[in-house]
Every structure is written in structure tokens, then in C-alpha cells.
Amino acid sequence: MSSSGSWLSQGTILHADLDAFFASVEQRDDPALRGRPVIVGGGIAMAASYEAKACGVRAAMPERIWRPLCPDAIVVPARLSAYSQASKDVFAVLRDVTPVVEPLSIDEAFLDVSGLRRSYACPREVAERIRAQVRTQVGLPISVGVARTKFLAKIASAHCKPDGLLVVPADEAGFLHPLPIERLWGVGKVTAEKLRSRGVRTVGQLAALDERTLTQALGPAAGRHLHAVANLRDPRPVHTGHRRRSIGSQSAFGARPRGEADIDDILTRLVDRVTHRLRDAELRARTVTVRLRWADFSRATRSRTLAGATDSTAPILGAARSLMYDVWPQAVDRGLTLVGVTLSGLDPRGSEQLLLPLDDVRRDQTRAELEQAVDGVRQRFGTTALTRARMLDQDVGTQTPVLPVSES
């Protein structure tokens, strides 16, 4: 084993990110798809293999855009259970290496490997083991960035994709500052346009601006955040076991016209799903948020805070429907392509305050017993084993799998 100098010269935070996750699972399970352009989802590209990305295909593209770019693409239906299982298998590998794992999504996580000095020569060696074990045990490629901070580690993993490993050098500014501003985590299209209109194109140029200028241009929160990370300040540790702040699910579908009944079916199934997960985690929610995406890629968000925290489907569905009420005409006319439902303001079950009138207590108990029975059936036989009668044989889009609440 080498001296401790290797540990001193390298950061101890890793960002592990699976490559083209959904498409890679499909290529793993079907050898005929390997090396070929694969699109998961169809009407709306839920994911694309790197062969399809090379043609310009990106996630969330409708078929009318991706089809001319990649006419030879092979379209496969989404298999949510396969992706969820692959995610669990990968996280098992990560936690076998170190218990200090912070999941970010179904396919990426931060790790703190500072406690492994006695077992490995350097952080790079830890990253190499992770990549090898994910490949051999799960059969998937994974890119890993190694750095002193979470922010740099995430940039490094994106920089070395696909199927790569990058250790940020000791000259962090030399690595970060030449990069375009779009590489920064948190700089989207709108923010990038604002910065470029001021002549800011690289992270180094951004770092040279004073914080006040950035907060005036981008707002206090975004301005302070980008000023800090551009100047290599990111003190955030890797957290494990912290309480989840929200539970959500979304459904993407093609841009073909959908009536109010179709959209309400999609909304209802999403609420069924998130409230099941809410009860499974023994949590209650106070705020309901509905997220929408239109055919022109514009987005809208609506939120409502309930009178009290609940884990019951009926009041949450009622709130979600009321949020949709004002946008029904737009949903039909503009071509809705995605609906998402997120529950936040989470509290542990048992912490809620009873509300008057108390005459409804028995009715609420009956409803809770029914929901528990439905949850039990779905838990044992799958989420599609029991559904609402009106949703039989209905196309409700492609739902995106997410991390179980207990793993966040």
C-alpha cells in the first residue's frame, strides 16, 4: 500500500453516476441492442443510449423531433421494475464499499470515502473498485468523479462520461475555470442566457464577478450559490439517512391530443402512487404540487397547502384536481406532455393535530382501513394488481421510477 500522500493529494468525495441508465439496462438484458441506438419510451424519449445521443437525441424529446435525427433508433417500452431492481443492486455495491452514501436519484449518489484510508492506497483505487464491481455484479457502466467537494465531484463525473473515471487535480481552478458556464450544476438555459448576455461564457469569467453583481442579475439565492461554487467554495458534507423533504412521481406521454378525462386518469394514478409511498414511509404531507410540461417544452407549477397534514388519497387527489382546474383548457389546447405530483411538508405519522368536526372520525377510519387494504394487495402482488375500474386498459403514459423513501 502506498503512503498517505496519495490520500492527501486527492479529494475523498466521489460522485457515482450510471451512464444512460434506462437504456443501459435494456442493452444489458438484450444483447441484440448493444452498440445500437436505443430509445426508451417511444412517443416521448424517456431515455436514450449513447449511440442515440450521438445523433442528437435527448431525454424528453417528442418523436417528431428525435425520429428525423435518428431514424434507425430501436424503440423499447419502459420496464420500471427492471430499472428499480438495477438501482437497488447498484446501491448495494456502493454501500458495500462505504456506508457513507447519499442518494441523489435512482441512478446517482455521493460517497465519502475518507474512512477507507487503511484499506485503499488512494481515493482513485476506491473509485476503480466501484466501477469494476458495478460492471461485474450488476452489468452496467458507471462514471465516477473524485474531488475535494461534492460540486467538483459531480462536474468530474459528467466530464468523464461515458464509462469513465476522473480525479480532479490539485489545481482545481485550472480544471474548473476553463469550462463553459453550462457545466455548472444549477445553470440552466435561462441562467446561461442571462450570463452570456453579460459576456460571461466560462466559469473563470463567472468567478471574476463580484457577488453583488451576480445577485442583482440572478437573484440572491442563485447569485450567492454560483459565486461560491465558481470560486471553489462548497462545504457541504455527504449526508446519510437524512429525512426526505418530498415524495413525487411523474408521467410523460406523447403530444397527441388528450381530453380532460384522460388527463384526470393520469393525475389520479400518480396520486395513488405517491400516497401509497407516503403511507409506506409512515409520513404525512401538507403541500401538494402539480408540475406540467407542454409540447413546446415550457413548464408550469401549481402548489396548495392543506389545512392539516394527511396521508389519505382523497384530500390529496382533491387538491391536485383543484390545481389542475385552471389549466384544463391549456392542457387540451397546448398539448400536455408531462404531469408530475409532488408531496412536501412531510411529518412523521402520529404528529398530526386532530381537526373539528369529530363527526367525520369514523368515516376517516373506514377510508384509512380501505387504503391500507389496497396498499397490502399492491405490496404483495404489484402496483398494477389492483386499480380503479375506469383505468383498466387506459394509457396513462410512462411513469418515472424513483428511489424508495427509506433510501434517501
Helix (H) or strand (E) holding 226, with range, is: helix 220-230
Rounded CA separation 360/90 (Å):
46
Rounded CA separation 217/219 (Å):
6
Contact present, 167 and 121 (Cβ < 8 Å): no
Cβ atoms < 10 Å from Cβ of 135 = 14
Strands 336-344 and 283-294: antiparallel
Beta partners for residue 252, in sequence order = 338, 398
Question: DSSP states of 304-354 as a string?
Answer: EEEEEEE--HHHHHHHHHHHHHTTHHHHHHTTEEEEEEEEES-EETT-PPP
List 108, 172, 193, 369, catalytic entry:
108
Rounded CA separation 239/287 (Å):
25
Q: What are the two backbone dihedrals, phi and then psi, of residue 239, each rounded to the nearest 5 degrees?
A: -100, 145
Helix (H) or strand (E) holding 276, with range, is: helix 260-280
Contact present, 135 and 142 (Cβ < 8 Å): yes
Rounded CA separation 51/57 (Å):
9
**Plot region of 199 (φ>0 → left; ψ -120 to 50 → alpha; else → beta):** left
Rounded CA separation 167/148 (Å):
10
Rounded CA separation 84/138 (Å):
12
Rounded CA separation 408/374 (Å):
25
Q: Is residue 108 among the annotated active site residues?
A: yes
The total number of residues written for the chain in this structure: 408
Q: Which are the catalytic amino acids?
A: 108
